[in-house]
Structure 1
Amino acid sequence: AWLEKTMGTVKRNLERAVPFAMEPVVYDFAINERGTWAELHTGEQALMPPGYYMLTAPALIRHEQRSLSPFRRAEMEAFGVAARTQPKLAGMIQALFDQLLPSREQSDDHHQSLTALLEANGFDRIQHEQIRADLRSGRIGLAQNRLPVRTVIEDVTADDASDVVHLSEQERTRLRKVGLDALAAGAVAVVTLAGGAGSRWTKGAGVVKALNPFARIGGKHRNFIEVHLAKSRRVSRLTGTALAHIVTTSYLTHEPIAEFLRREQNYGYAGPLLLSPGRAVGLRLVPMARDLRFAWEETPQQLLDEQAQKVRESLHAALIQWARQMGEGSDYTDNAALQCLHPVGHWYEIPNLLRNGVLVRLLEERPQLRWLMVHNIDTLGADVDPMLLGWHIDRGAAMTTEVITRRIDDRGGGLARVDGRLRLVEGLAMPREEIEFTLTYYNSATYWIDLDQLLGVFGLTRSDLTDAERVARAVRNIAARMPTYITLKDVKKRWGRGQEDVYPVTQFEKLWGDMTTLPGLDCAFVAVPRPRGQQLKEVAQLDGWLRDGSAAYLETLCEWK
């Protein structure tokens, strides 16, 4: 009993961080003195257990009677008589009907819960209708994700990204002092992006990547959030001023992260630690037939054997017909509420700070706040480096992006000159896949942001942040200038009783790197060492990360409680 209770407690504490296949089980073995034995049942008692018929009877009932063997017909007749007369089989007929004709688990409560979820997470109906109109008109779609083929994408020159590694010692010391002064004044905050599901890491397991105890560091297994707080703790001690730390969340991650931090008492972090709940969510759409054809016919696909290929093509034709019957581009609501929603990309995680009141509260506490360091939850080597902070302040840019030299497994775009303009290019936007491998630098997704200059791009000032309507309008206006990437996702429609179907749906995302395309935003780019900018996107990367010195480098940045 103690072992089962202990295992159950551990599972409850970690079930949002680590995937569990089942409830913990403790086996209590005993010696069977009789060995293997059986009892012979005859007559009306010659029946299998009820569970057997729940598994076999539906398939047999679907067959015509004359196609069954005499033995199977006799078995089903005996089962039918017993189901009407024996108490232990009471309810079997209704259960079989439920198995054969599962009821749709939809009701008015579903639509109410979906509406409530949308409202609670800041669903923007105006933006949604604009995206639907663009999708139906063909302005956006899978094929339109890519830049035009005529676009000239060139690798950067040596002067396009500053290399801080080779700065003189005197210059590094000067810049470090500038950064330390800003940190000591409380003018800096770090923003950790933890709103995504991390599906590449969890393989769709439905857990929160930020809470996953991914590696043994400092003598014990640590999760991503604990590591980032340990880095902020070290910087706080270094400067004598507690560093404000914001963790952005979404409808997928907010409650698990909030509960975890409460239970761990914020890992003893003494500085301001704020959660920034998501204020943007998308409603999935029924896909356009042209997008389904593009995904299945115009992108590379594995060629199957003749019969399997026919089955796949038949399935694709049926799904295209389903999309037409449901209404191409219409709202996808024929499922559980959470299956109808989707994350809208990390572009929204910074605007969420403007909309959810977190930035207002932090500015009230620290009116001197001016600079933000924004980074992904999986960019483990990124810390508030005083020298890099000083470089950003000295440069005076609205946003500085950290880039690293590319390796063959770095996928997702990079730094390039697009028709002569220096900017980040997302992997989804590449006209041809091979262009990405010609780029020297990969985006580490770590950004240094001048708060007031960013607000100016949105057409806002600090005093405007209390005007919710004006902020929402400003965010919507800038979002409309960002590229909209369309993707297809497979969602399961569970009918109950173990039966389910899989349908393709359309969703969109906007990415923060595309801010470098805005003419009014002064952007700079700085090349940093790989251990600082490397991202852990998949568990398969851990072995290399541990061997190449990145884990040892991370330990030097952390101070554990």
Structure 2
Amino acid sequence: TCSELLEGEDALLPQGYYVMMMPAVMRVDVQSLTRQRRRELVRLGAACRTRPEMGNLVSALFDRLLPASEPETAAGQNLAGLLGTYGFDATHHEQIRADLRSGRIGLAQNRLPTNSVIEDAEAEDVLDATDGLPQELFQLGAQSLKRGEVAVVTLAAGAGSRWTQGAGVVKALHPFCKLAGRHRTFIETHLAKSRRISRLHETALPHVITTSYLTHRPIEEYLAQEENYGYQAPLLLSPGRSVGLRLIPTLRDLRFLWEEMPQQLLDQQAQKMRDSLRKALVAWALSSGEAGDYTDNTPLQCLHPVGHWYEIPNLLKNGVLGRLFELRPHLKHLMIHNIDTPGTDVDPALLGAHIARGGCLTFEVITRRIEDRGGGLARVGGKLRLVEGLAMPREQDEFRLSYYNSNTSWVDIDQLLAAFELTREDLSDTERVAEAIRQLSSRMPTYVTLKDVKKRWGYGQEDVYPVTQFEKLWGDMTALPELNCAFALVPRLRGQQLKDQAQLDGWLRDGSAEFVEGIAEFEAID
């Protein structure tokens, strides 16, 4: 390498350096600057007047200090367009806003009342399928499969932020593990299991993958590129038709977050800084309007996913369920599962158990371990139901539960439609379907969360604001009194969910990967 020593008036660094450094220097009192720094600034001022390459430094500094933002009209039009495209329900949104302002929902209201009696489920409350089920149930399920009465629904609308510790990815497309000699994505793994079931039971098992505004295009393009991994049976994408618009937080929720939730202890100076920041955020929330629409950002930063409960009603809204009825007129049952439950498949015995019981929903649970967080199976006020971790009034209640929700469920389609007060013939009436979904969703628990959202000003500057968003979860269907729900205890190899990449080592060691290889038939590699 070589270098050149600059002296006198030429002893200046490039313009980009001063664009980066000058904002910090300008905030410092002139008297506190070193003599060397002051002399450098004098030379810089002279260079701005005489040297052409430094002529636009002043304008660049103003852009750095006061960066231009996107015009509000253009941003607003883009946001309105996205809301219309992704199925934003303005009526439901106004109801959420009214509930927030009235205090009916909020961070504190996520939890069940403190006087709720939460008891662990007993062994007789679940159907034990860990050691297999009777042959007659297997035959019942196998016959249903052969008649074309079953379809698989894989929930793949999430961004997988826990999987990457914060980064938004399409988790369904991540090659998470080496199976059968090659790294496989979650989608390929689930299709390989459906391929095996199709061959064993002489059927073409329809497979539906639900998506959202975050995941639809990448999944659609990837499946086209991979030619659906050679899956010969019907493979449908169910695009999301529900999206939320983020809101300005209420003071009530901000105070609950800061005063009631666990907080890191800081030293005196750091605590003063945090208190000052919180005071500024309170002023921002008040000036912007509590529970007002959060629109002062790029359009995609103003939207949020609304929870996996909506992924099932989306089948009604986007016409995919109607399409399934056209492909399979005898369709009666759905098996719904998360994208990150690689061990689950359409087990004929479990299907037969669901059919024999005649209920609307059968949820699969696994024996709970200490690392399983997020609620489980419990009796609440005497009613057996799944309880989400957000709803636990006391953290220790969760540790007393024996069974953990795998979020795999078997659904009787006609009974589910009856819960929405719909029939198969009603699916063509879009207005009636939308109103039915709105009515049932109003009876479901609404979980409110505060998320930190970045607003980037450009040139490396950004602000972080807490914003309010909500979600509804599929497991809470078990809380509806009119639904006939059952629960089956399945082996952990089948029901374990992979929420964090740190789980993969244990998942490989305990035989789970080998188990998945045994129930999957991957497309042959040329």
TM-score relative to the length of structure 1:
0.91
In the alignment, is residue 231 of structure 1 matched against residue 193 of structure 2?
yes
Matching residue of 1:71: 36
Q: 1:491 corresponds to which letter in structure 2? A: V
Matching residue of 2:128: 163
Which residues of 2 match residues 252-331 of structure 1 at below 5 A? Answer: 252-331=214-293
Q: 2:321 corresponds to which letter in structure 1? A: L
Q: CA contact under 8 A between 2:243 and 2:305: conserved in structure 1?
A: yes
Matching residue of 1:219: 181
Deviation at 1:37, TM superposition (A): 3.3
Q: 1:435 corresponds to which letter in structure 2? A: D
Secondary structure of the equivalent of 1:74?
helix
Secondary structure of the equivalent of 2:124?
coil
Matching residue of 1:37: 2
Q: Find the partner of 1:435 among 373, 392, 397.
A: 397
Q: 1:124 corresponds to which letter in structure 2? A: D
Matching residue of 1:91: 56
For residues 326-378 of structure 1, the C-alpha deviation after alignment (integer angstroms, 9 at most, x for no partner) is 11111011111011111100000000000001111121121111100000000
Secondary structure of the equivalent of 2:96?
helix
Q: CA contact under 8 A between 2:160 and 2:168: conserved in structure 1?
A: no
Q: CA contact under 8 A between 1:229 and 1:269: conserved in structure 2?
A: yes
- Tell me, in whole angstroms, the C-alpha distance in 1 between the residues paired with 2:59 and 2:257: 42
Deviation at 1:107, TM superposition (A): 2.8
Q: CA contact under 8 A between 1:459 and 1:474: conserved in structure 2?
A: yes
Q: CA contact under 8 A between 2:363 and 2:488: conserved in structure 1?
A: yes
Matching residue of 2:113: 148
Matching residue of 2:485: 523
TM-score relative to the length of structure 2:
0.97
Secondary structure of the equivalent of 1:438?
coil
In the alignment, is residue 393 of structure 1 matched against residue 358 of structure 2?
no
For residues 80-118 of structure 1, the C-alpha deviation after alignment (integer angstroms, 9 at most, x for no partner) is 222333233342221111011112234311101111111
- Tell me, in whole angstroms, the C-alpha distance in 2 between the residues paired with 1:440 and 1:536: 19
For residues 168-206 of structure 1, the C-alpha deviation after alignment (integer angstroms, 9 at most, x for no partner) is xxx622111111111111111000000011111022212
For residues 257-314 of structure 1, the C-alpha deviation after alignment (integer angstroms, 9 at most, x for no partner) is 1111111111111111110000110001100111111111112212111221221122
Q: 2:320 corresponds to which letter in structure 1? A: V
In the alignment, is residue 52 of structure 1 matched against residue 17 of structure 2?
yes
For residues 44-101 of structure 1, the C-alpha deviation after alignment (integer angstroms, 9 at most, x for no partner) is 3222122221222222233343332332222122222223332333422211110111
Equivalent pairs, count: 523
Matching residue of 1:362: 324
- Tell me, in whole angstroms, the C-alpha distance in 2 between the residues paired with 1:54 and 1:143: 46
- Tell me, in whole angstroms, the C-alpha distance in 2 between the residues paired with 1:127 and 1:432: 30
Matching residue of 2:377: 415
In the alignment, is residue 121 of structure 1 matched against residue 83 of structure 2?
no
Q: Find the partner of 1:508 among 460, 470, 491.
A: 470
Matching residue of 1:345: 307
Q: 1:136 corresponds to which letter in structure 2? A: R
- Tell me, in whole angstroms, the C-alpha distance in 2 between the residues paired with 1:271 and 1:89: 66
In the alignment, is residue 139 of structure 1 matched against residue 104 of structure 2?
yes
Deviation at 1:220, TM superposition (A): 1.0
Q: CA contact under 8 A between 2:453 and 2:467: conserved in structure 1?
A: yes
Secondary structure of the equivalent of 2:151?
strand
Deviation at 1:518, TM superposition (A): 1.0
- Tell me, in whole angstroms, the C-alpha distance in 2 between the residues paired with 1:61 and 1:493: 24
- Tell me, in whole angstroms, the C-alpha distance in 2 between the residues paired with 1:132 and 1:274: 34
Secondary structure of the equivalent of 1:411?
coil
Seen in structure 2, the aligned counterparts of structure 1 residues 513 and 539 have a Cα distance that, compared at 3 Å, is same
Q: 2:408 corresponds to which letter in structure 1? A: T
- Tell me, in whole angstroms, the C-alpha distance in 2 between the residues paired with 1:206 and 1:493: 16
In the alignment, is residue 112 of structure 1 matched against residue 74 of structure 2?
no
Q: 1:465 corresponds to which letter in structure 2? A: L
For residues 13-55 of structure 1, the C-alpha deviation after alignment (integer angstroms, 9 at most, x for no partner) is xxxxxxxxxxxxxxxxxxxxxxx43222234322212222122
In the alignment, is residue 456 of structure 1 matched against residue 421 of structure 2?
no
Identity %: 66
Matching residue of 2:143: 181
For residues 371-411 of structure 1, the C-alpha deviation after alignment (integer angstroms, 9 at most, x for no partner) is 00000000110100111111111111111000000000101
- Tell me, in whole angstroms, the C-alpha distance in 1 between the residues paired with 2:392 and 2:34: 60
Q: Find the partner of 2:66 among 87, 101, 113.
A: 101
- Tell me, in whole angstroms, the C-alpha distance in 1 between the residues paired with 2:240 and 2:5: 63
The farther-off stretch of 285-294 and 57-66 is: 57-66
Gap regions ≥5 residues in structure 2: none
The farther-off stretch of 41-50 and 548-557 is: 41-50
How much is the aligned-residue C-alpha RMSD, in angstroms?
1.2
Secondary structure of the equivalent of 1:78?
helix
The farther-off stretch of 51-60 and 246-255 is: 51-60
Secondary structure of the equivalent of 1:435?
helix
Q: CA contact under 8 A between 1:283 and 1:341: conserved in structure 2?
A: yes
Q: CA contact under 8 A between 2:195 and 2:521: conserved in structure 1?
A: yes
Gap regions ≥5 residues in structure 1: 1-35
Q: 2:77 corresponds to which letter in structure 1? A: Q
Deviation at 1:156, TM superposition (A): 1.1
In the alignment, is residue 243 of structure 1 matched against residue 208 of structure 2?
no
Q: CA contact under 8 A between 1:402 and 1:444: conserved in structure 2?
A: yes
Seen in structure 2, the aligned counterparts of structure 1 residues 63 and 308 have a Cα distance that, compared at 3 Å, is closer
Q: 2:6 corresponds to which letter in structure 1? A: H
Q: CA contact under 8 A between 2:138 and 2:350: conserved in structure 1?
A: yes
- Tell me, in whole angstroms, the C-alpha distance in 2 between the residues paired with 1:398 and 1:64: 71
Q: 2:304 corresponds to which letter in structure 1? A: H
Q: CA contact under 8 A between 1:105 and 1:496: conserved in structure 2?
A: no
Deviation at 1:536, TM superposition (A): 0.3
Deviation at 1:253, TM superposition (A): 0.5
Secondary structure of the equivalent of 2:138?
helix
Matching residue of 1:11: none
For residues 515-552 of structure 1, the C-alpha deviation after alignment (integer angstroms, 9 at most, x for no partner) is 01112211011100011000000011111111011111
Secondary structure of the equivalent of 1:55?
helix
Secondary structure of the equivalent of 2:406?
strand
Q: CA contact under 8 A between 1:184 and 1:241: conserved in structure 2?
A: yes
